[in-house]
Amino acid sequence: MSLNPLELFSQLPGAVAQGLIWGIMAIGVYITYRILNIADLTVDGSFCTGGAVCVVMLLSGYNVGLSLLCAFLAGMLTGLATGLFQTFCGISAILAGILTQLGLWSVNLNIMGKPNQTINVNNYDLLVSLRYLQEVLKGTRPFYWSPILVTGLFVLVIVGLLYWFFGTELGCSIRATGTNLHMARAQGINTDFNKVLGLMLSNGLVALSGGLLAQYQGFADINMGRGAIVIGLAAVIIGEVVFAKIFRNFSLRLLGIAIGAIIYYVVIQAVLWLKLDPNNLKLLSALIVAVFLAVPHWKKSLTAPLARKGGRGDA
C-alpha cells in the first residue's frame, strides 16, 4: 500500500474548512464547559437542529442570511429548554442536557419531515459549499467564494462580538457565575438567569455551526450531531494545550479553540490518508481527545518531581 503525500495535501483545504465550521461549535462548547463550568450535552441535538432549520428554510425559498439567523435562534431555544430544566426544575446539568437532546430527536424529525433533507448547490444560493471550495482551488471561481475565507470571517466576527459581550457588566456576571457560583450569589447576581443565558448563547452558536455544515455538505441528517460534543471538547482541549502559554487574552483563547478544531480535523484527515479502517474513526477520535486531555496531567507529573528536587537543593 503506497501513500502519496500530495493526496494528503490536496485534502487539507477541506479539513481546514470543516475545522473552521466546527470551530464555531467548539466556541459554543467553550462557553458552557469553561466559562459556565457546566457539562452541557444538548450540543448533539442542537447542532442537528441548526442544520435542519437552515436547510428547510432554504428549501422553502428563504435567503441564506435569514435561514442562518433562524438556525441560531432555534439553537437558543434548545439552550433555553436545558436552562429551564436546570434552574426551574432543579435537574442536574448532565441530565438536563440528555433530556433536551432526547427530545430534540423528535423535534428535528418533525422539522425535516424525514431523517434527512438534501439541498442542491446548483438550485440554491448557499453561503458555503464543498463545490465552491473545489472550484476555487481549480481557479474557476474567485477566491472570495472560498468556504475557508467565509467561515474564517465568521469566526473572527464571532470572537470579536464575544470579546465585547463578555467585557460588559452582563458578560462579566456570567463569567463570575461560572467561576464561583456562591460568591456570585452573595454579590447579588442572578445566577439562574446567567446560566440560562449562557446556555442559550452556547447552543445558538452550536446551531449556527450546524447550519453552515449542512450547507457545506449539501444535506441535513438526523444523525449529523451525533458525537458533536466529543469534537467540541477535543477542539477546546487541543486549543488550550497547544496555545495556553501563547494566547492569554480572552479573544485569543477563543481563536485558539477554533484553531484547535482545525488541528483536530487535520489529524483526522491524516488518519484517513493512512488508509485505516473508517469503522475505527470514532475510536480514534476518542483516543485523540484522551491524549490531549492527559497532556496537562502528564506535564504536572513530570515537572512535580523536578520542582521538589529543586526545592531541596535550595534548602
User: What pLDDT is recorded for position 1?
Assistant: 46
Q: What is the mean pLDDT of the chain?
A: 89
Q: 113 CB contacts (<8 Å, ≥6 apart)?
A: 56
User: What pLDDT is recorded for position 219?
Assistant: 93
User: 5-304 sits in which CATH class?
Assistant: mainly alpha
| Res 30 pLDDT > 80 | yes
Q: Which of 13-17, 90-94, 181-185, 238-242 has the lowest mean pLDDT?
A: 238-242
Nearest of 261, 272, 268 to residue 21 by alpha carbon: 261
Nearest of 24, 18, 11 to residue 129 by alpha carbon: 18
| Res 312 pLDDT > 60 | no
pTM score: 0.91
Instruction: Please report which confidence band the pLDDT of residue 107 belongs to, taking 50, 70 and 90 as the band edges.
Output: very high
Cβ neighbours of 135 (radius 10 Å): 15
User: What pLDDT is recorded for position 310?
Assistant: 60
CA distance 117 to 99: 25
The pLDDT tens digits of the residues spanning 141-195 come to: 898 899 999 999 999 999 999 999 999 999 999 999 999 989 999 989 999 999 9
| Res 140 pLDDT > 50 | yes
Give residue limits of the domains in the chain: 5-304
Look up residue 124 and give its DSSP letter.
Answer: S
Q: Which of 9-18, 29-38, 198-207, 280-289 has the lowest mean pLDDT?
A: 280-289
CA distance 35 to 166: 10
Q: 236 CB contacts (<8 Å, ≥6 apart)?
A: 26, 29, 30, 33, 34, 257, 260
* Mean local confidence (pLDDT), 228-245: 86
